[in-house]
Amino acid sequence: MLYDIFIDPFVQMYQMPDFFLQVLWEGFVAGILYALIALGFVLIFKASGVFNFAQGIMVVFAALTLVGLHENGVPAFLALILTIAVMGVLAYGVERVVMRPLVNQPDIILLMATIGLTYFLVGFGEFVFGGEPKRMITEELGLPTGSTAFEMGERGLVILQHIDIAAAVIAVIMVTALGIFFNKTRIGRALRAVADDHQAALSVGISLNQIWAIVWFAAGLVALATGIMWGARSDVSFALEIVAFKALPVLILGGFTSIPGAIVGGLIIGFGEKIGELYWGGLVGGGIESWLAYIIALVFLLFRPQGLFGERIIERI
């Protein structure tokens, strides 16, 4: 038993390096996609202190809108632009209808409001586009498909899906763009001001409503990108919702307010989950992927309650 836990997995890793590399790559890709979802959470949390539970459903909704529009005869790129517009309308609507009347309510009420939004979007998405799984329009958008196999001498080969490479590249581009946006532009500075203190930001003439709409829109764009990437790996359906729950441990690992935290957390969870499942999962009957991420995050939190890059909260009486 002890041998199976502590020695055998490492022996396997050494004996089959191709399999191990493949697992690492899978973990990397999953991690990137978790990180992208977490990024949407972080954006909204940073700028408004709202824990946006609906981010996962926004991912599904964006992908579903894109595919649904294409199915109804809209050309792929026009559908993409229309989906971006839809996310913009959604952002404005959420700001206007949900967030503005709930300013200054406790965290839990805001969280519940976003869960209510989740229910609404699930119903709305299925109502408009139907509930059955759909195929993502990968080729039509000009994204690469197919795969490449890398030989590793006589020790086997590693297969990389092109779409995964594209996902990684797009993730890097997106994080860089968001970084520049947050640090160099006027709106980015306003965003950081709002994150620091709502009232102080208001008093120097920053429009809170505008900032929130922008942030929700940015989160919507991140959701769309994630939806395309994730949809290309599996079908587009509301089962993707589960993926959103994976982003939560990523968040608490990285800290709610840190963009680098979301990336690092995503990678840790991605690697940890795949390696754990494939090398140790069999010992307890498999399927441990569903909770391993949470246990990793939980154990980690016991040592650092504010997450990797989170801000330490100083409490006063």
Partner 1 sequence: MFYREAGQFKTSYKSDQALFPILQDRIGMIAILLIAFVLVPAFANDFFLTSIMIPFLVFSLAAIGLNVLTGYCGQLSLGTGAFMGVGAYAAYKLTSIFPDANVIVMVLVSGVFSAAIGAVFGLPSLRIKGLYLAVTTLAAQFFLEWCFIRIPWLYNYNASGAIEVPHREMLGVVITGAEATPIARYFAVLSITALIAYLMANVLRGRFGRSWMMIRDMDIAAELMGIRPLRTKLMAFAVSSYICGVAGAMMVFFWLSAAEPSSFNIRLSFQILFMVILGGLGSLGGAFMGAAFIWILPVFLKFIPGIMGFNVAAETVQHATFMIVGALIIFFLIAEPHGFARLWQIAKQKLRVWPFPY
Q: Which residues bind partner 1 (CB under 8 A)?
A: 51, 97-98, 101-102, 105-109, 111-113, 115-124, 126-127, 131, 245, 248-249, 251-252, 256, 284-288, 290-291, 294-295, 297-298, 301-302, 305, 307, 315, 317
Q: Which is nearer to partner 1, 65 or 161 (CB)?
A: 65
Q: Which is nearer to partner 1, 81 or 283 (CB)?
A: 283
Assign 306 to helix, strand or coil.
coil
Give the CA count within 13 Å in the CB-facing half-sphere of 88: 6
Q: Which is nearer to partner 1, 8 or 126 (CB)?
A: 126
Token pair in block for residue 166: 């594209």
d(Cα 187, Cα 201) in Å, to the nearest integer?
Answer: 12
d(Cα 77, Cα 35) in Å, to the nearest integer?
Answer: 26
d(Cα 56, Cα 63) in Å, to the nearest integer?
Answer: 11
| Least distance CB 290 / partner 1 (angstroms) | 5
| Least distance CB 191 / partner 1 (angstroms) | 21
d(Cα 116, Cα 113) in Å, to the nearest integer?
Answer: 5
| Least distance CB 245 / partner 1 (angstroms) | 7
Q: Which is nearer to partner 1, 54 or 190 (CB)?
A: 54
| Least distance CB 50 / partner 1 (angstroms) | 10
| Least distance CB 43 / partner 1 (angstroms) | 16
Contact 162, 145 (CB under 8 A): yes
Q: Which is nearer to partner 1, 179 or 305 (CB)?
A: 305
Amino acid at 135: R
